[in-house]
Structure 1
Amino acid sequence: MQVQELVGIVPWTFVAQICNLFIQMYLIKRFLFKPINEMLEKRRAMADAQITDAQKVKEEADAMKQEYEQNMLDAKDKANQIVTSAQKTAAIQSEEILKEAADQAAAIKAKAEKDIAQEKRKAVNEVKNEIGGIAMEIAGKVIQREISEEDHAKLIDEFISNVGEAS
Structure 2
Amino acid sequence: MQVQELVGIVPWTFIAQICNLFIQMYLIKRFLFKPINEMLEKRRAAADAEITDAEAAKKEANAIKEEYEQNMQEAKAKANEILESARKTATLQSEKIVKEASEQAAALKNKAEKEIAQEKKKAVNEVKGEIGGIAMDIAGKVIEREINEKDHEKLIDEFISNVGEAS
CA apart distance, 1:132: 1.6
The count of corresponding residues between Structure 1 and Structure 2 is 139
Q: Structure 2: how far apart are the matches of 1:112 and 1:63?
A: 72
Q: Structure 2: how far apart are the matches of 1:57 and 1:78?
A: 31
What amino acid does structure 2 have at the position aligned with 1:75?
A
2:84 corresponds to: 84
2:141 corresponds to: 141
Q: Structure 2: how far apart are the matches of 1:120 and 1:142?
A: 31
CA apart distance, 1:24: 3.8
Aligned positions of 1:2-151 closer than 5 A: 23-142=23-142, 144=144
CA apart distance, 1:118: 0.1
For residues 88-145 of structure 1, give each alpha carbon's deviation from its aligned partner in whole angstroms, at most 9, with x where no partner exists. Answer: 0111011111101110111011011101110111011112101221132124324647
CA apart distance, 1:72: 1.4
What amino acid does structure 2 have at the position aligned with 1:114?
K
Structure 1-normalised TM-score? 0.69
Question: Superposition RMSD on alpha carbons, in Å?
Answer: 2.8
Q: Structure 2: how far apart are the matches of 1:144 and 1:25?
A: 170
**Runs (4+) off by over 2 Å:** 12-26, 138-145
Aligned positions of 1:148-167 closer than 5 A: none
Gaps of 5+ in 1: 1-5, 146-162
Structure 2-normalised TM-score? 0.69
**131-140 or 58-67, which deviates more:** 131-140
| Percent identical | 77
RCO higher in structure (CA 8 A, sep ≥6):
1
CA apart distance, 1:17: 7.6
Gaps of 5+ in 2: 1-7, 146-162
For residues 53-97 of structure 1, give each alpha carbon's deviation from its aligned partner in whole angstroms, at most 9, with x where no partner exists. Answer: 211221221122112211211121122112111210111011111
Q: Structure 2: how far apart are the matches of 1:109 and 1:35?
A: 108
**14-23 or 86-95, which deviates more:** 14-23
